[in-house]
A and B are shown apart, each in its own frame.
Chain A
Amino acid sequence: MTGAASSTRSGWLLSLPALVLLALGAAGPLLIVVVYSFLEPGEYSGVVWNFTTEPWFRVFLERDIFDGTVSLADAHLTIFWRSVKLSLLTTLITFAVGFPTAWFIATRPPSSRAIWLFLITIPFWTNLLIRTFAISEIIRNQGLLNTALLKFGLIETPIQILYTDTAVLIGMVYVYLPLMVLPLFAAIDRFDFKLVEAGYDLYASRWKVLRRIVLPIVRPGIVAGSILVFVPSLGAYVTPRILGGGKNMMVGNFIELQFGQGRNWPLGAALSMLLLLIVLAALLAYVRVTSSERPQ
């Protein structure tokens, strides 16, 4: 019988239309970006078809226009560093508040659990733009937060939060929190609470039970949540654009700038590829962590 061969053929045939569309509308164009990152920028936009490694060079280094000396591209590095720093902080904070939240949902009685879960999912599916806009409304100088603080006499003049790194951080935590809670919930939900009973039976304190039993077992969920938050944070565009104003750029905005006012498509292409490489490295690390943990 040729069961295996016909299964391969029909599997591919049925998947083919989706693959073609993805190749045209998602994966394929990425290859063009790779090519563009090795070309010279055109005068107004686009590229001149001359091979050069200059865009990649310029990601990290800059050459003085007058004397040709080479130094580190501080502006670029600052933006990259801010992106990584804010993304890591976002991941940490979403975990710190997301874990108790996921725990809370998972330990509700089955009847109300679905409702709590639904409540976490609604913001998740709500337009990112709307949510970012909503946060900006809260932290504006005349926003709800400052108004309340002024009213209670805690501050005398409004605190400037909007258009700072803090605003971007608050916004990203707010926007990406459900991405942390959902995989954590999935892991805790599968967790066998008999193990907690066994832990208490063997004289463990609540803290010990959490640290020695719960956290190690739900680790795949923690890793998944961290990746799900870290990756989009690193490539964030809408949130820093609305909350960070013009100065507090992240990589995503900087890339956009190269295709807009900056008119340096090859540099933008090189930056995009660098961002993609960092994300793929994070994903690869995730795959290795989770696959090595899976018991065979």
Chain B
Amino acid sequence: MRGRRFDITALPGFSAIAIGVFVVLYAPIVTIVVYSFNASNSVAVWGGFSFRWYEIAWENTQVQDATIRSLVVAVSAALISTTLATMAALGTTRRGRFKGQTFIYVMINQPLMVPEIVTAVALLIFFATIKVATGYQGLGYLILAHSAFCIPFAYLPIRARLEGMDLTLEIAAADLYATPWQTFRRVTLPLMAPGVAAGAMLAFVISLDDVIITEFVKSAGQDTLPTYMLGQLRRAVTPEVNAISTALLVLTVMLLTAFFLLTRRRD
């Protein structure tokens, strides 16, 4: 073994396990993607390459409705939660500790701590009461619920961005005759923008992926894409689900790539 360096970071078997983990992690996902191009009716037997299931999914009015509904809810939830999370992040960072700060942190992170099924039944009970009292059955409930549980996901990257920001920049702006509003507009806002964009993207992905809370909160006929898929999985599975999954997967990967590029760009 002459000339071979003693690698202090190497531990026996670790690399093999790690590679195995990556293979196992991706094999099922790759299978789904591959079988979404399967021409056959069966999900198990390969019948040649085709876009057939994408066409079927595309023309399925239920899928169309669910897709539009998913996007409406996710976009609204991302906008609302990001706006509120940005304000909260501005309120809770870069100032001395203040009374009640811990309470605010706990409240904002609460959706991350409570099991989703518990929040789901809580909202079911709460909204059932309101539905009876007001008669309103619209998408508002879904948007409200999604906006709420997206807040911590939007908040975290914005807060990280703000905390990494040099406080003296705003002092410097004030020194150069900027009013507080000018300082916010010309210095704080442009500098925190990547964090805000990242937060909005995470919120969008989280809302788009949600199954449990949506399943409990939605009124009749208000399927989103994930709850539609959950319903399909209960019956005989067709490769149509593979096609929808693949489409969602591609969307998620694209958003994540954008997110990484945004957060990795260091000034």
Contacts and interface: CB of A to CB of B under 8 A. Distances in A.
Given A103-B11, A200-B8, A24 B144 contact: yes
Contacts of A17: 83-84, 87-88
**Size category, A interface:** 35 or more
A237 B212 contact: yes
B198 interface: no
Nearest to A19: B107
Contact of B115 (A18, A134, A193, A235): A235
Main SS class of interface, A: helix
B145 to A, nearest CB: 5
B13 interface: yes
B113 A283 contact: yes
A125 B252 contact: yes
Contact of B25 (A104, A123, A193, A251): A123
A292 interface: no
Nearest to A27: B110
Given A14-B90, A24-B144, A177 B25 contact: yes
Nearest to B119: A26
B136 interface: no
Interface of A: 3-4, 7-8, 10-15, 17-19, 21-30, 32-33, 36, 46, 97-98, 100-101, 103-105, 107, 114, 118-123, 125-131, 133-138, 140, 142-144, 147, 174, 177-178, 181, 193, 196-197, 200, 206, 210, 231-232, 234-235, 237-238, 242, 251-252, 255-256, 259, 265, 268-269, 272-273, 275-276, 279-280, 283
Interface of B: 6, 8-15, 17-22, 24-29, 31-32, 35, 43-44, 80-81, 83-85, 87-88, 90-92, 95-96, 98-101, 104, 107-108, 110-111, 113-119, 121-126, 128-129, 144-145, 147-149, 151, 155, 205, 208-209, 211-212, 216, 226, 229-230, 233, 237, 241, 245, 248-249, 252-253, 256, 260, 264
